[in-house]
Chains A and B, each alone.
Chain A
Amino acid sequence: MTAHLTRRYRFSASHRLHNGALSADENALTYGKCNSPYGHGHNYVLEVTVAGPIDLATGMVYDLATLDETVERVILAPFDTSYLNLDVESFRRTVPTTENVCVEIFNLLRERIGGQRTACGPRLERVRLEETSSNSVEYEGA
């Protein structure tokens, strides 16, 4: 009996969309005001979905305290109130668009939660990241 459990988290961070391989003009053309040199911030809303069978003994898909602890340690502690481009290692090389931030979060969590679709236990199913209330990205793995 598979159920899909979603937990919502929030973090605030700043970023700048800039690709060092492009010229200043190309960056300005591609990223518009998001290329502003000093960066700008968002209140991100993160939804983490874990799917799996409902454990008969606990009635739960996944222990929420464990999920909270994992997300806090792996995502919120390094991401919250940071400048993503400089303070989060992977975004020194990758442009921190909502797409790339969403994929990075998925990959960081999958290592800890499990991501094999054929496995019987709980698995990370989806990460959904809202950059603003009008703008969100979902990623379910490659």
Chain B
Amino acid sequence: MPALLSSTRRDFLIGSGALFAWAHTPRLARAEGRDPRVLVVVLRGALDGLAVAAPVGDPDWVKLRGDRALVLDGKPPALPLDSFFALNPAMPNLHRLYQAQQATIVHASATPYRDRSHFDGQDVLESGFSKPGSYDSGWLNRALSRLEADSRVNPRGSRAFAVGPVTPLVVRGPAPLMTWMPRQPLPASEDTQARLLDLYVHTDPKLARALEGREDLVALARDGGMDAKPAGAQNPALVGIARVREYAAEVVGSAARYLAQPDGPRVGALSFTGWDTHINEGAASGALAGLLGVLDGAIAAFERNMGAAWSETVVVLITEFGRTARINGTDGTDHGTGTVALLAGGALRGGRVIADWPGLKDANLYENRDLAATTDLRAVLKGVLKDHLRLDDTVLGNSVFPGSADIKPMPGLLA
């Protein structure tokens, strides 16, 4: 991110997504007496995997990040995962699930995309194709369309289901969609406001003053505990982390209530934005930790609302790429490569960090800047689709992730 972004980022997270109903449950899974559910959560903006699961056992770790490194004796201390990795303390729920063998972290993973554009990276992540391009369907949609369905007719199955106004590409495609809108959309995030203000400051001081005036009003209202509604604004401009947390819990909780129903949809997707932490990222506390806390709360809300169906569920949390291994000049990180994929759900054989660890010495870093990617994210996704939904290797390699026959599904992810 260029120097033109100088404002402080605070909280910024927007959720949206889509859930699929399908008319039939997958035949093979049903034959085994299972009724599997999958929720894909796209984390837009490029999540810093090293700040989620820190390689505290790597001798180069603290050297790399200094006082921005998560450590076991930090304040607050990172949560131990195994002898090598520790989790950001903002994610106690994920830690609890990990200890209950219901969460898995795949580290140093990435899609095949090796440039650093958010839009292109998200297209590759969600389309399932190996190169950026203009796609109109995503891998989850194509996976659904290739499932062998059994004959149990779901009366609501002819309609699909979407959460929020933006349908993630990952679930777009030929299958029909139902939509569910949150009660109130979030107004422009503070991140967007900060970026716009920064643009104004550098190009149009009068507009900058006007926009700042509104932000001051919002801050004043927040400090005074008022129901902030600046004159003329359609939505309350108050986007405190509390409002974001409430929104995320509402979106994810609703998704769970639909997925949990016996005749409801079985696969869905959501997206959350705000992970582009170029400035003042923080570590065990700060901006990113605040967001991770929201995500952690959303995972817990999903687990709770799934009820008994949680045991047949896998939640997949993925991002377009990682961030630079080193801290940049504005206490943040820039666009990188390797990162984490997070899996949670009662159907997992969890409690593991899966990583072919590339190391953190200068020579180990991709282009001497990013955590290298040693695991192809498609292997992880294929592993889930194969063992949970029972899609076969050929379908996965040809139509779900086209041209990926040489990427083998990761075995043993499911219980």
Q: Do A and B bind each other?
A: no
